[in-house]
Structure 1
């Protein structure tokens, strides 16, 4: 329910308490939680995703309890992590066996039935092969020579995290940021989502960089090369064995043949989730600690609040991009409106009042909001930061540096804005 008037008050229809009414935001009651979550969506998720969400909340709560009772979080390789490595090596071992068997059959059965069997085994091994990620192709890439100030800031934050900086920055339209590796040499890549970057304060941006760089030094098992490639291989195989929806009578027979391999693959994936999720959640909490050390506790907490309104950010960007696309009259106007897109988004998100953040926090508790199914619930991450010792900023934002970084990102901002306006925004 929304008010028709901005900046007024009215009595709560449930408890009578005076509540604020603003046409831009949901009207709700902070006393009785009336209308706090009027549009709670029905969760229509596949089984694996539901399990991940359940485990994320469970492990997040347990780890938060460990922190608040004085137990220290530290990166470690425990028995579940070692078991996960063993399973991952087993997956790669199956691939190697298929390749070896296929080659042997082809060579020994050249010209006969053995060659057909060998080619079949090699075809099976192909989708299961470990695939190293490459550089993304759907957004601008920033090399160090093109953005020396941004790379210098990342290097400074990396020293606080106890690691080194990144080798490449990819800019995209995600309301998110992430780090990964690419190529045979395992070079480091920072994926920087402009919608998130643009709605953060300079100090919150430092906290964001601290969080992402913290993942390189905190023992995140799931993102290690061995487990990550095995996980991708299993996910690919599960896709191939997924039962056909609305099958014909003939396809029903195929679905029956898929039951056993699909169930086996689903079970192995769920087991890997169970074994690695606690370590992944621990890694997120540790990365949050780095965020607080780099940008300050206040900035890290502010970053958590910004993550809570990520959906609102996406909706705002989508609406504004659609308006711009509908109103454009030519290339020049599109270019000008594209350059204004990020300023509008930042101003819109900066106008979000504190009571809307509080509503989002309460909604987060009800829904178990998290960045994705591998992260602890956002409200627990926020609680953990507030429960820890207050940390000052090790890296302080500088107005001149911010201006130079903005200049370095100018071309990327225009490129991504044009792409969002041209193709639409799909978060």
Structure 2
């Protein structure tokens, strides 16, 4: 095992990743594996696999949680903070500046380039559904469960119904006995005392508090919406879209055009997609809103990592618990499929020209493997020329 790195070393390693990790959560996990297993040998292959498995089972941004866990394993709580700051700040700052720019020149958000970005989002979410479906729904039972969840949420897609659908999917996984591969038992965790329980209680208390009615648009409301989204999202990344759309577009806080323009911009920057929260927070609440939204959306996932690491020893050897979580993951695919229709498709595709561009963009992503950070500005340019 290599010597324990300093706060500065962990921060700089993750800062470089935060500046260069394009491609979304799946790509981030590949970058982490190359950096921390092969290059630096901070973890073995088996230990890294267990970290990824744990974070996939928890609500929140999976790739950011993996980075947080690696920072914790190498530098305890200071290391976790260094990892989160380094990986998150680059994209968060860029998206905050983008939101502030739209606030200064609101007419810019009405151009054809926004239409291009919205159509790009359709292709990105479609590709995410395809990839996640192949990974999380490898058999007929899980594919059927995902389709049922999608059909239900297309008709009744409120936040409460989304929570209910995922809970029912978890129970279905338990009843059906959906199999899960067993973890290796390689990971050794530096967790002692009662701190994990404190983190779990804090997570639950803040989640209950986030449901308290608050005036739309205020900073406490912003914090509550972000915390609730970060706490209830399984799969991270694109899956947060329906939760945030429910809170920020359906409530009238943002227009659908601005919301999807920001989400499209989030595809063009490196780092975690959850930094889209900085765009939403800065839209109407400036820099203070960006900071509050960013911290609030990442906080529940971070608390769950610290609380869940000891629990992993039990979950990885408990077949019924893993079957229930497999059902939840299948439900997540259905949730994202429903989101692909509404609001993504319904607000972006208005005619045959838009549909044709979506097909071309999806083909570039799925077949040609063109990076999203290349396609995002190209989509904006095509929109400006065509719409």
TM-score with structure 2 setting the length: 0.27
Q: Which has the higher strand share?
A: 1
Q: Which has the higher helix share?
A: 2
The structure having more radius of gyration, on CA atoms, is: 1
TM-score with structure 1 setting the length: 0.25
| Structure possessing the higher relative contact order (Cα contacts under 8 Å, 6 or more residues apart) | 2
